[in-house]
Structure 1
């Protein structure tokens, strides 16, 4: 309701909502969208070169005549913005002074220097409106009268504010609880889920799995003793195999609800069909080859795969221009009627690509190949090693419900798959995995899920191990 105290902000919020509802209804023509994107791109470039010390230098020579001449073909002539730019320039990246923001966030700083991520009213209105319009379809599919659990870090982080605001926009009550916090903890979080009859949970996949493990350890059945209808998962890789694993553990539907980062805000949102969609009213998307930096070609079906590059089409505290996210994605044309934006499929970080016997394997490839064949699993970790003759091997360590093991048929199917796809001898083992698998959202999927014995520990794996030690007493 803060918008009612400022007429200009109120008018902007109402226009933003109208635009997103029209887009959601399929009322924007492709020509209207492209015109909107090009005009907003020009506006963002004017805005950042005028207000951001970094972009005033980075985009030097970009005058009004060159902006008017800007075309889709010349966008790629603009220089990239990188993560190193964010880490070295810090507040010089901003296009507004901090006192013009309504809240200050920053990146976690677990794998590099924390960078400032303030939000002003424009940032929050544009991003939260897009999420609210998309999520409305998901919530309605699961009935009414929802009590929402929001489980994510709150200190200097946007999770609680964003999902709390969206729950309120949709007319649902919510409770913020961070199970890793000493103030809450997993035991109390489970009690609250039951006491107030939570029906929907926003959290990271590792939190959903950790809650299921803790419930089982307490003699509770997640499927029978809780009323959770669906999970909205974010913060780390969430393949269909992992979503199915979490859904089966809880007897609920699990969605990969969001693709975003603290520095780049909302880049994708789940819609009623259960798939992530781009948000083209807010963001300009490019897909590049991460090595050559040239645009990734589309295949016969229009699918583009490579590193995602984004430009913000709204003018808030910290718009980014041609920002290299470091993430591998696939963008595909949406099929049929409905929300008219591309499907967005996160594949993992560029740095998380693994070589297995000469095969380039993404995080998505590994997880979604193995997990659908591992029924009854509550957690997993991969171990990569190399034999004396130079053959890469793969093992999966599983934490299963009630100590069950995979059937011989499923184990053999996994062995065949690993051999046929990656030339890897494959083994399965069982047991407790400790806290390292809970660090994916804070460090990386690879640091949390992969123990690569072929090389010495990298810095991210060491960070994950240190963090895991502090979480071992969940």
Structure 2
């Protein structure tokens, strides 16, 4: 059977919105084509009349629980669970069935990934790992069926706004994760040519990427905002013509209105939060327009951890909460329905989200950050959006990218700019304007324009916002956040840059 998958696959466009899947065995090719057609039809029915499919989710959940119960990782956490009762309840009410099962976390996901790899027995198609943004990298193996379904979920939704695209550059600097691979084959599925590349984090040399962009003139950029900002920073520093795109597909990092407006101004493009998800869960929400991320309710069950009227923490079906209140906020909990190779049941993502009614039906998602995502700077709890609203909120400021360094009460904002500087006076005036903007959030902060920032400023998707853009350079600060020890060399370079630059030294990177 194809569902488990086997090693090695390739997906490209056949020009008709389907997939060309290269497999030696004709029977496997036929089964994969059938899977493609089933998933396309599943999405169509779910869009047009979700009530027709609502009952199927119970059967899918029952099958998922049965498969999961065969794995040692689940047997340990479900020791006291009556699996037969849960699967029976799933057919009647999947939400009641879910509430009989405990929540699981990232540590559990790591154990599950290790077990799936050990038991794969030729069923593994591609091995990936999580980026290590929030903890040590964990296995995220994928089967062929998982990748095919994810590709179609992407493509069938992106088709609503990418119909005229010709060629895309995919610049996602996490080669160990599935995002770059998945984005490329999703774009290929739509008949869009691709160049997938990455930039070494230590040399941070974008010259080849800029040369390929000049040669191929892609109309689509796909990647995290920090990589795109770094690309423009390097183009300005090299005196190159900044690239222009028609559509920018963002992924891997939290964005806000100020950042999206700044990226639109830099690129001349329509800027889209293209997807939401993780290496563990797969893609749980996909863009259907520049303004809306649609939860993939045909492939997942979504719950939210919220407070009830008595102030108690409870877990509730996201769609139920939205039906009652029109909108809901909380920590997202995910159950996969389509991933039979590595089933996740009631996985706590650690992500805070807002769920709303989507245009035309279904559920729309707005990411709000992660639990505990703020950082203490000069005695204040500062969130990413506060900083970025300050540096990118005023269209009169030309800030391309930034790095915030703090040492006790001293805060320095280092930034790059797209504005030409012809004299010392104009540079000083720009520093004054950016300083005034950041002091609205952090009184006493000082802004300083620099020719370029260290490599860490482009690693938001690999290191997280706090490690990539905010660094504690006080004498007692740890060299690197314990969650990202593999980036210690990059963070050491950033610390050295900040300590030297704040005192007026000219730093060459």
- Aligned partner (choices 63, 72, 75) of residue 56 of structure 1: 75
User: Counterparts in 2 of 1:263-274, with a 5 A limit?
Assistant: 263-274=280-291
Report the secondary structure of 2:233's partner residue. Answer: helix
- Aligned partner (choices 156, 165, 171) of residue 133 of structure 1: 156
Report the secondary structure of 2:114's partner residue. Answer: helix
What's 1:311 paired with?
A: 335
Report the secondary structure of 1:138's partner residue. Answer: coil
What's 1:428 paired with?
A: 447
Structure 1: which 5+ residue stretches go unaligned? 388-392
Could you give the per-residue CA deviations for residues 76-131 of structure 1, whole angstroms, max 9, x where no partner exists?
Answer: 33111111123345422569615112222122447644322221122112211110
Deviates further, 324-333 or 130-139: 324-333
TM superposition score normalised by structure 2: 0.78
Question: What number of residue pairs does the alignment pair up?
Answer: 451
Contact 1:326 / 1:351 at 8 angstroms: preserved in 2?
A: no
Report the secondary structure of 2:349's partner residue. Answer: strand
Contact 1:303 / 1:331 at 8 angstroms: preserved in 2?
A: yes
Given the alignment of the two structures, is residue 114 of structure 1 paired with residue 131 of structure 2, yes or no?
no
What's 1:259 paired with?
A: 276
CA separation of 1:268 and 1:216: change in aligned 2, threshold 3 A: same
Structure 2: which 5+ residue stretches go unaligned? 1-19, 422-426, 498-507
Given the alignment of the two structures, is residue 280 of structure 1 paired with residue 280 of structure 2, yes or no?
no
In the TM superposition, residue 37 of structure 1 has moved relative to its aligned partner by 2.8
Contact 1:110 / 1:463 at 8 angstroms: preserved in 2?
A: no
Distance 1:395 1:289 in 2: 37
Report the secondary structure of 1:442's partner residue. Answer: helix
- Aligned partner (choices 48, 53, 58) of residue 38 of structure 1: 58
Distance 1:38 1:360 in 2: 43
- Aligned partner (choices 477, 485, 500) of residue 456 of structure 1: 477
In the TM superposition, residue 464 of structure 1 has moved relative to its aligned partner by 4.6
Distance 2:244 2:302 in 1: 38
What's 1:84 paired with?
A: 107
CA separation of 1:208 and 1:105: change in aligned 2, threshold 3 A: same
Given the alignment of the two structures, is residue 344 of structure 1 paired with residue 365 of structure 2, yes or no?
yes
Given the alignment of the two structures, is residue 148 of structure 1 paired with residue 148 of structure 2, yes or no?
no
Distance 2:378 2:176 in 1: 42
Contact 2:67 / 2:340 at 8 angstroms: preserved in 1?
A: no
Distance 2:201 2:468 in 1: 19
Deviates further, 92-101 or 265-274: 92-101
CA separation of 1:292 and 1:261: change in aligned 2, threshold 3 A: farther
In the TM superposition, residue 280 of structure 1 has moved relative to its aligned partner by 0.6
Given the alignment of the two structures, is residue 333 of structure 1 paired with residue 357 of structure 2, yes or no?
yes
In the TM superposition, residue 378 of structure 1 has moved relative to its aligned partner by 0.8
CA separation of 1:69 and 1:248: change in aligned 2, threshold 3 A: same
Given the alignment of the two structures, is residue 367 of structure 1 paired with residue 367 of structure 2, yes or no?
no
Distance 2:185 2:493 in 1: 30
What's 1:231 paired with?
A: 248
CA separation of 1:347 and 1:88: change in aligned 2, threshold 3 A: same
- Aligned partner (choices 332, 339, 345) of residue 321 of structure 1: 345
What's 2:6 paired with?
A: none
Given the alignment of the two structures, is residue 12 of structure 1 paired with residue 32 of structure 2, yes or no?
no
Report the secondary structure of 1:66's partner residue. Answer: helix
Give the RMSD, CA atoms, in angstroms: 3.4
Report the secondary structure of 2:400's partner residue. Answer: strand
Contact 1:36 / 1:281 at 8 angstroms: preserved in 2?
A: no
Could you give the per-residue CA deviations for residues 298-322 of structure 1, whole angstroms, max 9, x where no partner exists?
Answer: 5985322222110101133211111
Given the alignment of the two structures, is residue 100 of structure 1 paired with residue 120 of structure 2, yes or no?
no
In the TM superposition, residue 180 of structure 1 has moved relative to its aligned partner by 2.6
TM superposition score normalised by structure 1: 0.83
What's 1:390 paired with?
A: none
Distance 2:312 2:382 in 1: 19
Contact 2:230 / 2:457 at 8 angstroms: preserved in 1?
A: no
What's 2:10 paired with?
A: none
In the TM superposition, residue 377 of structure 1 has moved relative to its aligned partner by 1.3
